[in-house]
A and B are shown apart, each in its own frame.
Chain A
Amino acid sequence: MAYAQYCLICDGTACNSSQSERIYEQIMKYVYDHDLEKTCQVVKTGCFGFCEQGPIVKVLPDEAFYVQVKPEDAADIVREHLLKGRPVSRLIYREKDTDSLGAVDKISFYRKQVRIVLRNCGFIDPESIDEYIAREGYQGLEKALFEMSGEEVLVEVEKSGLRGRGGGGFPTGRKWRFTKEMEADQKYVVCNADEGDPGAYMDRSMLEGDPHSIIEAMAICGYTVGASRGYVYVRAEYPLAVRRLEKALQDAREYGLLGDNILGSDFSFDIEIRLGAGAFVCGEETALLMSIEGMRGMPVQRPPYPAVKGLWGKPTVINNVETFGNIPVIVTRGGDWFAGIGTETSKGTKVFALTGNVNNSGLIEVPMGTTLRDIVFNIGGGIPGGKQFKAVQSGGPSGGMIPAEHMDTPIDYESLAALGSIMGSGGLIVMDEDDSMVDVAKFYLGFTVEESCGKCIPCRLGGRQIEKILEKFANGEGTPEDLQKIEEIGQTMITGSLCGLGKTAPNPVLSSIKYFRHEYEAAFRKDVAETA
C-alpha cells in the first residue's frame, strides 16, 4: 500500500456495460502520459452499489466520488485531480438540494449502510488475490485451520445466529451440524449462485466483486463439516462472474489455499464450477442438486434433507452466496460480534437490490431491523417525478407486496412473513401510484407458471388457473367469486406443492388482494360492480 493516490473504477456489470472498461483505458493512458503510475494506483473494482449513477470513479484518499463518468472525462480526472490535486467538481456527485462535495460517507445512499458481506466490493480488484489477502482475506481460513477445531468453528457459526440468505432463513449453524454429524466417505459443500429472482443481482455483484470471500467461506465450511469437495452452481447468464470466479479458483490453487494440504495442514479441499441453464426452480436446493448431477432440475421430496442425503446421495451443505459471504468475518471476529448486529431473531445484515421506481437504484447492505421507509426514502431517495409511493415487493416472484402503511416495519425474517411476504434473496422492487397491482401480480404469476417444473399438480395446474382468472381482471371481467377462487387455489398451492416454488408462487397475488383489494374490485365486470 505504497501509493499516494488510488483511483477506483467500478467494473460491475452495470458500469461495465456503460463503458467502464474504456474509462479505465483512458485513465491509464493519461496516468502513463504524466508519469503518475508510481504514485497512483488505478484499480478496476467490483460493484460500488450505486448503479443508478454509474459509471462511478472514486479517488482516494480525497474521497472524491465521481458519477456518470464518460471516457472523455478521463483527461480531466487525471490532469486536474491526480496531477494537481484539484477535484473535478462538475463530475462530483451532489445530493439534491445540497452542494456538499465528495466524502462518500456523507452521501445518504451510503450513510445508513453497514457493509459486512460487501466489505470488499468496490474496494479491491476482484481479479487480484493479493488485494483480497491485504484486506484480511483468508485469515478466517488460516485461523480455522491452525487455531480451531471444526467443532469450535461450528460453535462460532451457531453463536452468530446467521440464517440462510437465499430466502428460507434456516439457521446456518444447524444445517452445518446435521452434515458434520453424518458418517460418510464423502461430503460436499455447494454454493447456490443460481440467482433466479428477476430483479435481483446480489449474488452476481458479490461473485464479480469479491470472489475469494466465497472460496474462503466454502473451504472453512468444508473443514468444519468434513467435506473435501465443493461446487459453485452459478447462472450461465453471468459470464463476468463465472470468469472472475474461475480466475480466483486458479489463483487460490496456486497460493496453496485450495487443493491438497491447504497451507501445509492435513486439510484438502477443492471447488468446481457448474453452470446453471436458466431454470428458476434450480434455486430450490433439491432441484439444484439434480441439475449438478446433470439432470432436469426437478425437486424431490424432503426429508431427507440434503444436509443428510444430498449430492449423489452424500451429506451436502448448500448455502447461498450471501450466506457464505458472512462466514470469513464470523470466524475472524467471532460469533458474538456478529450476533450484536440486527434484531432478536435475525442477526447481521442483508444485501438488497433496490430497483423499480425509486431514485437511487442500486445494491445496498443494511443491518437487519432497518425499516423499509429508511431503505426506500433515505437510501433510495424516494420516488422519481414527485409520484406517490404505492408498495414495495420483497422476495421477487415468491414474495409479497407491502403497502405504505407497513413501511415502518423493521425488516427481519419474521416481520416480513407476518406481512404476507418473505425476506427472499434480496430483491426489493419499488412501485409507484401508476403501477397496477393486478398487473404486477399477473407478471409475477406468469413468471412462476412458466418456471414451474410441472412435477406436482398444485403448482402445475393451480398457477395456470389463477393466471386465467387474472386475465379476466385484466380485461375488466372479474367477479367476487373469482377473488374467492383465487384465494382457495392459492391456499391449495401453499399447502400442497412439493417445493418452495409452488408454495410461494401465490404470494404476490394473495398479498395484492389483501392490501389492494380495491384495485381488483375496480376490475369487476360492469353488472357485478353495479350490484356490489
Chain B
Amino acid sequence: MAVAVPERAELADELAKFIDDWKEKPGNLIMVLHRTQLEYGYLPEPVVIEVARRLGHPAAKAFGVATFYNYFKLTPPGRNRVAVCIGTACYLKGASELTDTFCGQLDVELNGVTEDKEFSIEGVRCVGCCGLAPVVMVNGEVHGKLTSDGVQRVIDKYRNGRENPEQAAG
C-alpha cells in the first residue's frame, strides 16, 4: 500500500522569519500555530507538518495541540466568517434562534461553509460585548442587539465582497 507523502510546504517569508525568531524559546508551538493561522486563515495540513519540522517537534504533537484548542481550524473558512456568540447573555437573549435563522438563510450547517464558499458560520464563546446581546461578528465586525429580522440585512451587507475591502482589492 502506497502512502501519500505530503508535499513539503513552502512557508510564507514572514512566517518563516517568525519561526526563526521563536525557535529557541521554550513553549513556542502555540504561538507559532497562531501566527500560521493568521497567515492562511486556517492550519493547512502540509504547513503544520512543515512548521513542526522546523521547530523540531513531532508532527503528532503539533496536530495534538491544533486539535485540542477550539481556536485552531484545520479546514478553510468561507470568504466571510460569521461568528454567532453563544455565551450565556446572548443565549438568554435568543442566540439559538439567531443561529438557526443564519443557517437557514445561508442554507448551511452550523460550523460549515456555504457551497459557494462565500460564508462560513460558527458558534463562538463570549466575545465580551454582553451589553449588546445577542451579538454576531462578521469578519471581526460586531453586530449587536440583532434579531432574526435583521439577519438578511447583515448577510446582504457582506455578500459578493461588498464589505470585505481586503479581499476585493486582492
Contact = CB atoms under 8 A, between A and B. Distances in A.
Q: State yes or no: do A and B come from one complex.
A: yes
Interface stretch (B1-9, B21-29, B162-170): B21-29
A198 B129 CA distance: 11
Interface residues of B, number: 37
B162 to A, nearest CB: 19
Contact of B88 (A238, A279, A356): A356
Interface stretch (A113-121, A145-153, A287-295, A323-331): A287-295
B131 A54 contact: yes
Contact of B28 (A238, A279, A294, A429): A294
B89 A237 contact: no
A175 B131 CA distance: 35
B99 to A, nearest CB: 13
Interface in A202-254: 204-205, 236-239
Contacts of B68: 279, 296-297, 453
Contact of A199 (B26, B64, B69, B130): B130
A13 interface: yes
Contacts, number: 131
Contacts of B140: 239
Contact of A201 (B27, B34, B128): B128
Interface string A265-306: 000000000111111100000000001111111000000000
Pick the 9 closest A-B CB pairs, nearest first: A51-B131, A17-B142, A199-B88, A198-B87, A277-B69, A278-B70, A278-B71, A201-B128, A294-B29
Interface residues of A, number: 51
A312 B30 contact: no
B70 A355 contact: no
A362 B72 CA distance: 30
A196 B125 contact: yes
B144 A200 contact: no
B125 A198 contact: yes
A408 interface: no
Interface of A: 13-14, 17-18, 51-52, 54, 195-201, 204-205, 236-239, 274-280, 291-297, 312, 353, 355-357, 361-362, 393, 396, 427, 429, 431, 435, 440, 443-444, 453
A294 B88 contact: no
B127 A312 contact: no
A361 B128 contact: no
Interface in B55-111: 61, 64-65, 68-72, 86-89, 91-93
Given A17-B144, A198-B126, A294-B26, 11 more contacts: A13-B142, A14-B129, A51-B132, A196-B125, A205-B128, A274-B30, A279-B70, A355-B88, A356-B93, A427-B88, A444-B88
